[in-house]
Chains A and B, each alone.
Chain A
């Protein structure tokens, strides 16, 4: 064997080792990919699939973020309607139609066996623009999609005083996690759709050296590098963050003139009927009236979704699907009774528990109904929140605030009224029902009357078929809708 052959073989062997080493990692990372969708209601995430080495998503997962979705399938054609605009998609074609507009694509549209329309990720801005008329912001590298102008660009100003201060101004109040490591301050935004127009800015300054932007794991991160320790301050209701030189530490012999201010984790005001002030990122800084000028509507929370399947009844039958089916029926039943109802999720998307409470609170929902499904037993269990009583010591220290987890305490009586109405309406439809308190997330964080329903199979058919029976789900939805009407009438009567 000649030396050139040996070298070739060695090179091939190295290549093979690299392929073998990288292959499992590539496969694994492909499984974990998700698109984070930011809307005014919160964040959800959608699964990304790889097709022909390109990233695709299912339109059925995305479109509910744009409005009411209608789906029709005829052989190889799937028609997806959002509001009045209908799109027509065919499997394996490079062009499709949305409204009157033909959209060309370098990559083919796919339709899978279950009728899901898979489109390349980079086509999303064009698709959303055709459906809504508004162009979203898509960050391909970080897998983030910002809808309806929610992206919040930070404006940066370096004030060259002595020493300098760096002023970050945001369009709305923000509440980042702050990590301070010597001269480096990291502001991590896990909920807010924060963006910076440049990835990095370097300063010729004695104190502030640079500011950089990154987007790790769906979050946004701003890192400020200083030559000396930096102090972070908030002003203008959380819209402005100022980074300045930290004061020199006191000498050991000197006692501090004032004890340091206590940092309490509490976040919501005590006054009943008010929302938490800065409990969670994204919430407005000033308290909002719950039943102010916002028209009454019911927020329906179909439990679980996306990565969180909830209880797995069988290989293909999961709690997240049952809750969504009942939620859609309940929405229709409420609308039939003239009551507006909004679903926190209308597709198979992941929605964190905190986001669910925030979504309801931000929109100032009049009532909140969380839906769950599963055993043991039969019928429907109606739960009200088990809100922990506030610790008097904590309350005293907290001043006008109460713990975020006790936000619901002021609404507990009304929740019980709603729960009792639910049990009564269910019993009237010959569905077994019982009312009890439970510490179930996210009820205790909801700033409105709220209950959770756990739907188990009916007594006359205690099986998965029984749980999935349309007639049974419809009966539960009708009872819940009638209970909302009853509870509302009761509350209005009390108000008089």
Chain B
């Protein structure tokens, strides 16, 4: 017969073993998640296909609080939606450098761009664009305004821009910039002009 003390000891050991197992499992899952996140945070790259053409990027400089235009060579596909996506990716690549003139969420990327009749451009961003974005009115305004102005400069006919995150409407970018609204390109251009340094 097993003594009562031994039974309790075995039970406690079993509980400790199982609790330890659950804890280890959680740790492993966390590690896997972190690993995936760091892998996804690699800077975006331009597509290999398509000729490289000069594009104008409107880039934010946080330290000086200004916007400036920069020329870049980007390989662009033929379809307008694809071109819009790659132009935005080129802008994000500027922001994903270390150090960067302006920061966005690590691993931020453009999932898709839809050019709709009537000048509407729907930009669908990935989750990291929003979840990792630094919080602040001006910081978020810089991101939104430079993306819209860069689109407007390089893709003729874009009149309004709507941002989605993972295919869904999101209330704000990181607590400030309103993403429920449909941005008017002309109105944003006025803001950009006011912040631009030539």
Q: Residues of A with Cβ closer than 8 Å to B?
A: 1-2, 5, 8-9, 12-13, 15-17, 19-21, 23-24, 303-304, 308, 310-312, 319, 353, 372, 374-377, 381, 383, 386, 388-389, 405, 436-441, 444, 452, 454
A20 touches B187 (CB 8 A): no
Bound: A20/B176 CA distance, A: 41
B171 touches A16 (CB 8 A): no
Q: Residues of B with Cβ closer than 8 Å to A?
A: 1-2, 7, 10-11, 14-15, 18-19, 21-22, 26, 62-63, 65, 134-139, 141, 144, 171-172, 175-178, 180-184, 187-188, 190-191, 194-195
Contacts of B19 in A (CB 8 A): 19-20, 23
CB closest chain-B residue, reference A14: B14
- Report the minimal beta-carbon distance from B106 to chain A, rounded to whole angstroms: 16
B18 touches A376 (CB 8 A): no
CB closest chain-A residue, reference B65: A377
B194 touches A16 (CB 8 A): no
Query: Which of B136, B172, B188 contacts A454 (CB under 8 A)?
Result: B136
Contacts of A310 in B (CB 8 A): 135, 175
Query: Which of A23, A386, A436 contacts B195 (CB under 8 A)?
Result: A436
Interchain pairs with CB closer than 8 A, number: 117
A452 touches B14 (CB 8 A): no
- Report the minimal beta-carbon distance from A370 to chain B, rounded to whole angstroms: 9
B10 touches A9 (CB 8 A): yes
- Report the minimal beta-carbon distance from B117 to chain A, rounded to whole angstroms: 13
B2 touches A5 (CB 8 A): yes
B136 touches A444 (CB 8 A): no
- Report the minimal beta-carbon distance from B191 to chain A, rounded to whole angstroms: 6
Contacts of A452 in B (CB 8 A): 137
CB closest chain-A residue, reference B19: A20
Contacts of A386 in B (CB 8 A): 181, 187-188, 191
Bound: A439/B63 CA distance, A: 22
Q: Identify 24 residue pairs between A and B in the complex whose beta-carbon atoms are under 8 Å apart, listed by A's number.
A: A13-B11, A16-B14, A19-B18, A23-B22, A24-B22, A24-B26, A310-B135, A353-B171, A353-B172, A374-B137, A376-B63, A376-B138, A376-B139, A381-B137, A383-B137, A386-B187, A405-B180, A438-B137, A438-B138, A438-B191, A439-B144, A441-B176, A441-B177, A444-B178
- Report the minimal beta-carbon distance from A390 to chain B, rounded to whole angstroms: 11
Given contacts A9-B7, A376-B65, A437-B191, contact A16 B15 (CB under 8 A): yes
Contacts of B18 in A (CB 8 A): 16-17, 19-20
A388 touches B187 (CB 8 A): yes
Bound: A439/B148 CA distance, A: 13
A441 touches B184 (CB 8 A): no
B177 touches A439 (CB 8 A): yes
Bound: A20/B19 CA distance, A: 5
Bound: A240/B159 CA distance, A: 42
Contacts of A9 in B (CB 8 A): 7, 10-11
A374 touches B135 (CB 8 A): yes
CB closest chain-A residue, reference B18: A20
A388 touches B184 (CB 8 A): yes
Bound: A372/B139 CA distance, A: 12
Bound: A372/B7 CA distance, A: 61
Contacts of A388 in B (CB 8 A): 181-184, 187
- Report the minimal beta-carbon distance from A432 to chain B, rounded to whole angstroms: 10
Given contacts A437-B190, A439-B177, contact A375 B7 (CB under 8 A): no
